[in-house]
Amino acid sequence: MATTANPTRDDFAKMLDQTLGDTDSFEGRVVIGTVTGIENDLAVIDVGLKSEGRVPLREFAAPGQKAELKVGDEVEVYVDRVENANGEAMLSRDRARREAAWDTLEAEYAKNSRVEGVIFGRVKGGFTVDLDGAVAFLPGSQVDIRPVRDVTPLMDMPQPFQILKMDRKRGNIVVSRRAVLEETRAEQRQGLIQSLHEGQVIEGVVKNITDYGAFVDLGGIDGLLHVTDLSYKRVGHPTEMLNIGDTATVQIIRINRETQRISLGMKQLESDPWEGASAKYPVGMKLNGRVTNITEYGAFVELEPGIEGLVHVSEMSWTKKNVHPGKIVSTSQEVEVVVLEVDEDKRRISLGLKQAQANPWEKFAEEHPVGSTVEGEVKNATEFGLFVGLDNDVDGMVHMSDIAWGISGEDALNLHRKGEQVKAVVLAVEPDKERISLGMKQLERGAPTVGAPASGDKLNKGNVVTVSVLEVRDAGLEVQAGEDGATGFIKRSDLGRDRDEQRPDRFQVGQKFDAMVTGFDRSKKPTFSIKALQIAEEKSAVAQYGSSDSGASLGDILGEALKARDGEK
């Protein structure tokens, strides 16, 4: 090559290019350089270009650590530009590490392998992770299996991550720590669940409590301890027996190896209180208990820890019908009950609350025998009678036919109103049917005594008796047989055969006349009739003193009959 006596700058540059070759090919490449000096916080590196480059020492240090670099060390750097405005090469250690890291990460991502990284910073929505030079984004939801409030203990510490997404053009990498933990946990769970068996007793730590139970960590796998399996006694909420962090001894009830779900129990470690319950609580036994729960259909009573019986609403009170159980008993109240039925297999005991108390109908029958007089308030008036409130909160019924003599039942009902105080006679008491029959008309003057021999024992149907008028009514006459005999009623239509004779006002109180007994009403009170007597006398006269073909008139026949009767008298 010919030399020039006085070379110019261009000649010198041309000679340098011939010596170094094409320097443009260096740009965008990772090359090996040698540290020629350390100036303050910069490393001077020679990569064989026209000039050296300077790289901050921090780029040679791992996050949170100090760079250990000395003169003569060979390092990989990325050539960003061969020469800047100051004539120096622009080099980057971070870029070199990043390019090398991207190559490695792409290979690991293709194999779906884990990579190691360090969490070193916080950003919006998550954290930054150094993957040996490449910076990745760790979303907050991917830090752990459960939300983590403080990530400080996890920072600046090498740990495995799973790459979820990569985009080299955009320089975007998304990683997950949670995926690694879940995979590891699944491996541990699979190994642990194979070592467990149903019926095994094991200790665990309470990790979480819900309304329906508690989750217990058995050393890498969680089991559910349902609230119904905490104790044989009623448990309202798991916190009544457990707290988070408690160590609990449990028994494995069921294992589903496909879903990896484990059901646990604590009450299974206790003796079953229902064993021998039939012998312990025989039917008819009276005992005390505590009300634990009230529902629409009854109340549950605890007889001992673990054993509860149900008092159905129909067995709660003798007299309070169709009322909510909460109006009869209250929660935590001590009550006396009677055992009605025991089903040990179904773990059910039927109890009675009213059976522990005296039957008010039986008590009423003892205190108020048939024929006695009672007094009470009209509680209700129905289309068939009156309900009267009596002692011990029981009601008696006065049928409309037993309200008053001589008037219809409908008219008798209209004489009384709800809330009125009335007196009545006890006609019948049926405790098994919870029924008391009362009568009000039996208290009227001359009425037959309830429970005494029936009027029919003295008066027979068809008898002719002399009666005296006790009372004149529009509907007829209230009469009495003899001096102290039974009283009865003669309806208006029975006062005579002719319409003119069927007038009650033609009779006076105290007046006496003959009448025929025509029957007895439901209270065994006799009914009389003048009309029936007249018809009977006519038939008798015709039979004795004449016939229809004798030629004698009815007046002649009756005249002869009257003469005969007067002669006998």
Residues 299-328: tens digit of each pLDDT: 999 888 888 899 999 888 888 878 899 998
Check residue 366 and give its pLDDT.
87
Residues 6+ apart with CB under 8 A from 545: 552, 557, 560, 561, 564
Binned at pLDDT 50, 70 and 90, residue 563 comes out as: low
**Share above pLDDT 90 across residues of the chain, in percent, rounded to a whole number:** 17
Number of residues that this document lists for the chain: 569
CA distances from 184 to 141, 150, 485 (A): 18, 22, 108
In this model, does residue 226 exceed pLDDT 80? yes
Please tell me whether residue 209 adopts helix, strand or coil conformation.
strand
Q: Which fold has domain 277-351?
A: OB fold (Dihydrolipoamide Acetyltransferase, E2P) (2.40.50)
Residue 35 has what pLDDT? 78
Which amino acid, 486? A
8 Å CB contact between 341 and 283: yes
Q: Where residue 548 falls among pLDDT bands split at 50, 70, 90?
A: very low
pLDDT of residue 104: 83
Place of tokens 């916190």: 239
| Beta-bridge mates of residue 416 | none
Contact yes or no for 426/436 (Cβ under 8 A): yes
CATH topology of domain 26-111: OB fold (Dihydrolipoamide Acetyltransferase, E2P) (2.40.50)
Q: Are 402 and 442 in contact (CB under 8 A)?
A: yes
Spatial distance between the Cα atoms of 344 and 509, rounded to a whole number of angstroms: 75
Q: Would you say 126 and 177 are in contact if contact means Cβ atoms under 8 Å apart? A: no
Of 2.40.50.140, 3.30.2090.10, 1.10.8.60, 3.40.1410.10, the CATH number of 360-443 is 2.40.50.140
Task: Give 528 or 189, the one with higher predicted confidence.
Answer: 528
Neighbours of 105 (CB within 10 A): 24
Residue at 454: amino acid letter: A
Q: CA triplet 42, 45, 49: central angle to 5 degrees?
A: 135
| Least confident stretch, 6-15, 178-187, 238-247, 501-510 | 6-15
Tell me how far apart the alpha carbons of residues 264 and 215 are, in angstroms, rounded to a whole number. 9
DSSP 108-138: HHHTT-EEEEEEEEEETTEEEEEETTEEEEE
Residue 71: phi and psi, rounded to 5, are -60, 135
Residues 6+ apart with CB under 8 A from 285: 338, 339
Q: Which CATH number fits domain 112-182: 1.20.58.100, 3.40.640.10, 3.30.470.20, 2.40.50.140?
A: 2.40.50.140
Cα–Cα dist 569/555, whole Å: 21
Give residue-wise pLDDT tens across range 120-175.
Answer: 999 999 999 988 778 899 999 998 887 877 888 888 889 999 999 998 888 899 99
Q: According to the model, what pLDDT value does residue 128 have?
A: 94
Q: Tell me what pLDDT residue 38 has.
A: 80
Work out the pLDDT band at 522, boundaries 50, 70, 90. low
Surface-to-core class of residue 232, CB atoms within 10 Å of its CB (0-12 exposed, 13-18 middle, 19+ buried): buried
Contact 272, 261 (CB under 8 A): no
CATH 3.30.70.20 fits 196-269, yes or no: no
> Pairing relation of β-strands 201-210 and 307-312?
unpaired
Mean pLDDT of all residues in the chain?
81
Percent of the chain exceeding pLDDT 70 equals 83
Give which of 306, 287, 297 is closest to 351, Cα–Cα: 287
pLDDT category at 176 given cuts 50, 70, 90 is very high
List, edge to edge, every strand of the sheet that includes 90-92. 53-56, 42-46, 29-39, 74-81, 90-92
Please give the average per-residue pLDDT across 114-123, as a whole number. 91
Cα separations in angstroms, 66 against 53, 58, 61, 62, 285: 21, 7, 5, 7, 85
Strand ranges in 400-463 using DSSP code E only, listed in sequence order? 421-430, 435-439
Looking at 508-552, which runs of residues are DSSP E strands?
512-520, 526-529
Mean pLDDT of 215-230: 86
pLDDT at 350: 93
> What are the sequence ranges of the domains in the chain?
26-111, 112-182, 196-269, 277-351, 360-443, 455-545
Superfamily of domain 455-545: Nucleic acid-binding proteins (2.40.50.140)
By DSSP bridging, strand 222-226 and strand 261-265 are parallel
Residue 320: predicted pLDDT? 82
Instruction: Give the residue from 108, 124, 201, 207 showing the smallest Cα distance to 160.
Output: 108
Asked whether the domain spanning 455-545 has the same topology as the one spanning 360-443, the reply is: yes
Q: How confident is the model at residue 20 (pLDDT cuts 50, 70, 90)?
A: very low
Look up tokens 């002692």; give the residue: 391
